[in-house]
Structure 1
């Protein structure tokens, strides 16, 4: 059996990332991948990038990574409240100022998606990794999407399983053809009610793929305090405390 760890959407939250990495290490999992969005909304953007670099962890380019790497303008999103819109502009501007030049280059060179092939016994498993979809790193695909949306992605990628992040909401869907679409959730800015750090373990046997969502506690009060001490808006501290009204 092969075990693979996949995580996404750290968003500058180093304590949450360390909790996930420690859990992966304790489980003896050697294969790990990140689906992107290393930066924005917590004050350890550079440190998170350096940690990923130090581990040589393959990482995709999330929409926030792309925005910071190439100084892409920020536009309001209709799903956000006025308060979140204002906070988002300030937080992203903070990253643009404080992510150093070397780390911006690293972000700019990240791949858009990755296709993996693992051989277990006589069986080859094809696993497609994306930040949000095959054609965009900024498409919101939720569990409520029709099966056809995910089946089309699986067909286009010729994969047995597709893993995504971006929405910060984990889910697992298996279809009649035994193929899977899985969202691994968010390490550092979960939108799930428990706000725990989330990641995915894939167990590959010759007969089947078994996905398991892992959710971990971490010193969230430390993160809240550090956000309050930084130039990042307190909105994101309140978000982690689950004080905000969540709008998907």
Structure 2
């Protein structure tokens, strides 16, 4: 089983187009978006329209719910209605050898849309959150900083994955980031090799995305952040 996970496009259509071109070369079982389709750039309607056209299951991000910002004012009424229907979490269950494996997706965390599940977060805190959510694999976005962390919980191995950002990376690499997640059905939950995570980086026309910010009422500093990925 192989699925693609992406997040935090933030209305960056040039980055989104490059991501989709890369995505379409893969043979996938499913694609999921972990939120923040809008914010920080001028193409929210183009991004939302393509997500809707493709029928991509999508979570609500914190920016998708902010109704008092310039970026939200750009969103067409039908797309605003779409954003208002997005769920907070997605949960998947797969058969893994002789056990079930549960994948839980959230934008920030399972507890709050605005919480950052950073790589250095206390292990006991994360495990408590994952037990609460009944998650073997927790996939999040929001921080724009990709990582894959493997934790042990009794006789199980658990995985925490931040899938990074397609449209506004903050890890020093300006190329868009998404994840290909593969599950090996022949492994058990105690085997760390049961879950394979590939981080894909996709170059795009950063200058075009920056110029769109300069030509808009958005703060110019957002453009430099695209180039510096911070």
TM-score by length of structure 1 reads 0.84
SS in 1 for 2:2: strand
- Whether the 8 Å CA contact 2:175–2:203 is kept in 1: the answer is yes
Quick one: distance in 2 between partners of 1:191 and 1:17? 16
2:59 paired with 1:34 = no
- Whether the 8 Å CA contact 2:34–2:107 is kept in 1: the answer is yes
SS in 1 for 2:35: coil
Q: Number of residue pairs matched? A: 220
The residue aligned with 1:43 is: 42
SS in 2 for 1:26: coil
SS in 2 for 1:47: helix
Picking from 148, 161, 164, the partner of 2:124 is 148
Residue 159 of structure 1, CA deviation = 1.6
Where do 1:165-184 residues align within 5 Å?
165-176=141-152, 177-184=156-163
2:168 paired with 1:189 = yes
Q: Which has the higher helix share?
A: 1
SS in 2 for 1:148: helix
The residue aligned with 2:182 is: 203
CA offset digits 1:28-73 (Å, max 9, x no partner):
22410000001010110111111111111000011110113xx4xx
The residue aligned with 2:84 is: 108
CA offset digits 1:173-210 (Å, max 9, x no partner):
00123110110001101101112101111111111111
Gaps of 5+ in 1: 72-92
* CA pair 121-145 structure 1, distance change in 2 beyond 3 A: closer
Residue 224 of structure 1, CA deviation = 1.1
Residue 102 of structure 1, CA deviation = 1.1
Quick one: distance in 1 between partners of 2:25 and 2:72? 35
Gaps of 5+ in 2: 188-193
Residue 121 of structure 1, CA deviation = 5.5
Q: Which has the higher strand share?
A: 2
TM-score by length of structure 2 reads 0.91
Residue 120 of structure 1, CA deviation = 5.1
Aligned alpha-carbon RMSD (Å): 1.5
Where do 1:1-248 residues align within 5 Å?
2-68=1-67, 71=68, 93-119=69-95, 122-176=98-152, 177-206=156-185, 207=187, 208-242=194-228, 246=230
CA offset digits 1:150-172 (Å, max 9, x no partner):
21121111121000000010111
- Whether the 8 Å CA contact 2:146–2:161 is kept in 1: the answer is yes
